[in-house]
Structure 1
Amino acid sequence: MTPNPSRRLFLGAAASVPLALTLGTPAAHAADSAYVMCYFTESTNLGDGTDYGLHLAVSTDGLRWTPLNQNNPVVTPTEGALGLRDPFILKKQDGTFVVLATDLKGTDWSYVSQYVHVWNSTDLRTFTGYHRLKLHDMNTHSWAPEAFWDASRGQYGLIYSAVNDSGHNVIMVNYTSDFVTASAPQVFFDPGYDVIDGDMAVGVNGYNYLYFKKNQTLVGARSTTLAPGSFTEFSTGAAHGGTEAPTLVKSLSSGTWWLWGDTYTPNGVFYAWQSGDLSAGTWTALDQKTYTQPVNSKHCGISTITTAQYNALLSYWGAPAWNRLKSYNYPARYVRHSNYVGRIDEYPVEPYKDSLWTIVPGLADSSGVSFQSVNYPTRYLRHYNYALQLDVNDGTSTFAADATFYRTAGLADSAWSSFRSYNNPTRYIRHSNYVLRIDPISTSTAQQDATFYVGY
């Protein structure tokens, strides 16, 4: 996602809607109890799995996500560059949604657009009123648009990253009531050095928070007002390598805040940190066992939704027909096949479909399961001399037995899963030196090796 360095227009971008943005809504609405994530997708080689439309995923806990519409886009821009990056969902004061996004398809960093994409939606199932909104006349792009409600103005503040007369990236703001017309741009935050990817949490115990990317690190500023120029940096940085796209999310069940970040290589990896006190400005990295990102997802935005909206989105768009399996003791790694050998490798996997599995009724016993490859659907994961490999189903009873496993409570964590061999019932699927095999399990290390999270 890194642009032409001579322009220094874009080092990454972020989008989110924290719970705090919905506070102060005048009308009565059902309480939010779930989350929706928006994003675009990029594979590591910008090939299969790359799409610059609006993608959605949902979650009940804000950490583990179910992609909708088979991880395909739900809507795609029809103006400008005909693609988007850095989408953002805001629940407006009337309970409906507005979607904003950068006007760019792919990685043509020389493309300059003063516009952002805009959609309206009552339910995130249908999208209406699509248009592009012009924000300025400067010869610079409008990156990573987000919005918040400014009660003192009775308008929404629309913030975005751009290079203004200062010669470096700053965060700009325009004010709008309808996302059709907007005020003249103003500098919202300029500490004197490059800052991009602004993300807001408004009205939290008397403070308003702005997180942004500074020197490949996620940093926070705060203010008791929402006035442009009033924010002061205060937090320690959070990063995992080069990190961008800060996204603040408030837990719906506790006082915990999460800060999501995205590495800015193609098919970036999401990392998350947590804090029990946003005013402290310090963050602790979350164990990757606790969260997953939608496959190929880039630059997410997260908003809260109701249980009814969560259920309606799942019913309308559908959950994926495939799964991914995350390793318990190596949670950056997922089960995949490579040269027809079963193994666990770090996300992102290329080609990404090597890590997608259709879990079907067991070939030898329908109360068990078999793992059918998504990109080689005639092949199944089976054991041969105790090693797991991807073979064509030859229709024999031996193959069916070798390819059938019983799903059990995870040997290292009962909330996860383990898989016991059908025809070698003392043996479980486990990894050893990252290669999959079936073994008897007798140690705590082996129990961890044999435990997986079945998700997306």
Structure 2
Amino acid sequence: MAAAVPLALAVPLGVGAAPAYAADSAYVMGYFTESPSGLGDDYGLHLAVSSDGLQWMPLNQNNPVVVPTAGAAGLRDPFIMRKRDGSFVVIATDLKGTDWNRNSQYIHVWDSADLRTFTGYRLLKLHDMTTHSWAPEAFWDAGRGQYGIIYSSVNSSGHHVIMVNYTADFRTVTAPQVFFDPGYDVIDGDLAVGVNGVNYLYYKKDQALVGARSSTLAPGSFTPFSTPVAQGGTEAPTLVRSLTSGTWYLWGDTYTPNGVFYAWQSDNLAAGTWTAVDQRRYTQPLNSKHCTIATITATEYDNLAAHWGRPAWNRLKSYNYPGRYVRHSGFVGRIDPYPFDPYTDARWKLVPGLADSAGVSFQSVNYPARYLRHYSYSLRLDENDGTSAFAADATFLRTAGLADSSWSSFRSYNFPTRYIRHADNLLRIDPVATATELADATFSVGY
């Protein structure tokens, strides 16, 4: 596992056990999955890990690591927190799919020593109101000596507010209280506790992410202050701080278009203003929705990767169109905006080159008898006919990225003056010389 880089992310202050922060150098993300036509919908807990907090590697082949069996038998909006004793607790919305009219007074809860095993699964009742308990998150309130659980619900006036219950063990809770009610609909609260003596609460208002702050954690004490940020309709704020610098990051999950993560950054959380992060710098796990990010140690990272397994496939992202990924459609190679279905069209196995093992060939995951090859300079997905001509057409030499050496480019084996590039979103092999052509021929190999 690589060491954390200066732009890495960390969970907010005050959430985890203090001794863990000195050792933590990596990150775990929890999420559920959805895709545009529902092919990738899965309402269990998914995990991904990252050594820099920006590029994420899904675990367990992007399948769930644990699935609820009670309540709705599905979850949304998971939250992972390291407790004061160093172990983890996972909480989540009791909802499978998008039945927004389902009112559950419960949340799912698991205990975990290491995020490899999950014990003590239970439903935890938060209130008796005829409304829901969406997007639960937890924090340590040192003044009370208890954990707070905040969640989105509807008050007696009929609009969404953020509620809070307090607990010592995530098994019994105090009576619910209104934590934040600015007088209009707010959902998806996310806290950063004890930042230079100030506590920050980010939430969704209308279609944007907005912040409030307070010098205490007392219910009713937060006041809105920040400039809203959004990219389309944006929800599910995740506020995290760099482990090695003063930079803060604000992640958001869009629902117009559905399922795209965006990130903003700020060097001054108190200012309440944010700058968009270049999409080249981060890649979300495939089909991920409403994430939670917590810090972990290097040993925990390695143990999670070993236990759940690394992906047996890759995705390729365009350098100059970083919202687009390489896929096949109608057996034609192209780049398309994420997300799309079938999402499996964008998963590839980079295997030793069919004509030269020093190169690579791109084997389709969902059509494993087919490989990406050039034909009349255009790339298409064809079945391997076993001929030497096919093997040569389907073999490419991976080089340092022509537009960015930290990325990758792919030179044709049998037409070595030509590289894979996109043109009008279609993939082909061409000679490349101009800055635009070099960018067209540059890709990241990730997940």
TM-score, scaled relative to structure 1: 0.94
Distance 1:259 1:29, change over 3 A: closer
Structure 2 residue 50 is the aligned partner of structure 1 residue 63: no
Query: Is the Cα–Cα contact under 8 Å of residues 267 and 296 in structure 1 kept in the other structure?
Result: no
Q: Which residue of 2 aligns with 1:43?
A: 35
- Contact kept, 8 Å, 1:17 with 1:301, in 2: the verdict is no
1:248-267 equivalences in 2 (<5 Å) = 248-264=239-255, 267=258
2:402 aligned counterpart, secondary structure: coil
Choose which of 156, 161, 164 in structure 2 pairs with 1:173. Answer: 164
Q: Which residue of 2 aligns with 1:18?
A: 11
Runs ≥4 in structure 1, deviation > 3 angstroms?
25-30
Structure 2 residue identity aligned to 1:20 = L
Q: How many equivalent pairs are there?
A: 439
> 5+ unaligned residues in a row in structure 2: which ranges?
1-8
Which range is displaced more, 236-245 or 258-267? 258-267
* Corresponding residue number in structure 2 for 1:10: none
Matches within 5 A, 1:203-352: 203-264=194-255, 267-352=258-343
Distance in 1 (alpha carbons) for counterparts of 2:291 and 2:150: 16
Which residue type is aligned with residue 336 of structure 2?
Answer: D
1:299-351 deviation per Cα after TM superposition (whole angstroms, max 9, x unaligned): 10111111111111111111110000000000000000111110100000211
Mapping of residues 44-443 of structure 1, within 5 Å: 44-46=36-38, 48-264=39-255, 267-443=258-434
Partners of 2:379 and 2:369 lie apart in 1 by 16
Residue 7 of structure 1 corresponds to which residue in structure 2? Answer: none
2-structure distance, mates of 1:29, 1:102: 27
Check conservation: 2:78, 2:136, Cα contact below 8 A. yes
- Displacement of 1:49 in angstroms is 1.3
Q: RMSD of the alignment, in Å?
A: 1.3
Q: 5+ residue gaps in structure 1?
A: 1-15
Shift, 1:163, TM fit: 0.2
Q: Percent identity?
A: 75
Alpha carbons 1:220, 1:234 under 8 Å: kept? yes
Report what 1:34 is aligned to: 26
Cα drift, residue 271 of structure 1: 0.6
Q: How far off is 1:264 after superposition?
A: 2.0
C-alpha offsets along residues 79-118 of structure 1, whole Å, 9 cap, x if unaligned?
0000000000011111110000000111122211000000
Q: Distance in 1 between matches of 2:10 and 2:167?
A: 17
TM-score where L is the length of structure 2: 0.96
Aligned-partner SS, 1:74: coil
For the 8 Å contact 2:204–2:210, the answer to whether it is kept is yes
Aligned to 1:33, the other structure's residue is in SS state strand
Per-residue CA shift, 1:256-278, capped at 9, x if unaligned? 11100011258511111011111
Structure 1 residue 30 displacement after superposition = 5.3
Aligned-partner residue type, residue 27 of structure 2 = Y
C-alpha distance in 2 between matches for 1:174 and 1:28: 25
- What is the alpha-carbon distance in structure 2 between the residues aligned to residue 381 and residue 84 of structure 1? 37
Q: CA shift at 1:19, angstroms?
A: 3.4
